[in-house]
Amino acid sequence: MFFLQIHWGNHRMATVKDVHDFWNRNLCGDEYTESQYLSIEYFEESKGIRYRYHYHIPRELGKLKDIKKNGKALEIGLGLGVDTQVLCELGYEVTGVDLTEKSVEATSARLAFYGLPATIMVGNAEALGFDDETFDIVYSFGVLHHTPDTQKAVNEVYRVLKKGGVALIMLYHRHALNYLAHLVTFTQFDGRREDPCPVERAYSRQEARQLFKDYSRTEISVDYLFGTGWGRINYFVPMGIKKLLGKYMGWHLMIKAVK
């Protein structure tokens, strides 16, 4: 299949500050929830919506279940902290970093509400403030394709992982139905015309392998046929078809890489 590479905006020039400012204005996941910010309804509704649409995430997080009992997990790029909550519930000692104060606030409030201890702080994927070989797992979903230097961030993940540690990373997939839809409709993956996301990229499997070339083993799979903007089409297509086609032309490249 031949696909053009979309470069929205001028993201080669975008800075980490531009990325911070965009996501601090647009708290990721908040747009799907109508409940009052940080209320119990907000926490529950956002979790329900997330896993109804992103049906593959619970299965992907399940891959991390038995990697290291009571091990140390790092999540990079938290959004509303729904997956962070699950990592805590899996029994990991969780540290979470996000570039934005807004996401740190929402994630901290969620974990406090459910009584889950974790260390949540502002941090940059491209310059993680942790020693080498600190974590048993690093998880990052839909984040590293939004940072100006994705390779630098992938290298940071490698640095902070212990030997034998596992990274589970989602990056957007270029050979995807959703990519094509955005290409023909001239719309961004995230953000809006009046407030465009400063950095967003999509990768082929081969390019993803190249990004993770320093790891000792890398498994890549594809899932999630539609993005979030497909409305009724997403609703009416049977799950069996979404899963079948999603394996080939899904929007999410799921990368499990062992250091």
Residue from the set 14, 61, 64, 76 that interacts with ligand SAM by CB under 6 A = 76
What gap in Å lies between CA 192 and CA 31, rounded to an integer? 12
Grouping H, G, I as helix, E, B as strand and the rest as coil, residue 28 is: coil
Query: Does 96 interact with ligand SAM (rule: CB under 6 A)?
Result: no
Q: Indicate the residue among 61 and 70 with the shorter CB distance to ligand SAM.
A: 61
Q: Indicate the residue among 97 and 240 with the shorter CB distance to ligand SAM.
A: 97
What gap in Å lies between CA 75 and CA 140, rounded to an integer? 6
Tokens of 16: 């980490």
Q: Which own/partner pairs from 13-18 qualify as long-range (CB within 8 Å, at least 24 positions apart)? A: 14/148, 14/198, 14/199, 15/148, 16/99, 16/124, 16/126, 16/147, 16/148, 18/198, 18/199
Query: Does 19 interact with ligand SAM (rule: CB under 6 A)?
Result: yes
Query: Does 189 interact with ligand SAM (rule: CB under 6 A)?
Result: no
Binding mask 105-124 for ligand SAM (x = CB under 6 A): -------------------x
Report 145-184 residues binding ligand SAM (CB under 6 A): 146-147
Q: Which residues bind ligand SAM (CB under 6 A)?
A: 16, 19, 23, 28-29, 76-79, 97-100, 103, 124-126, 141-143, 146-147, 190
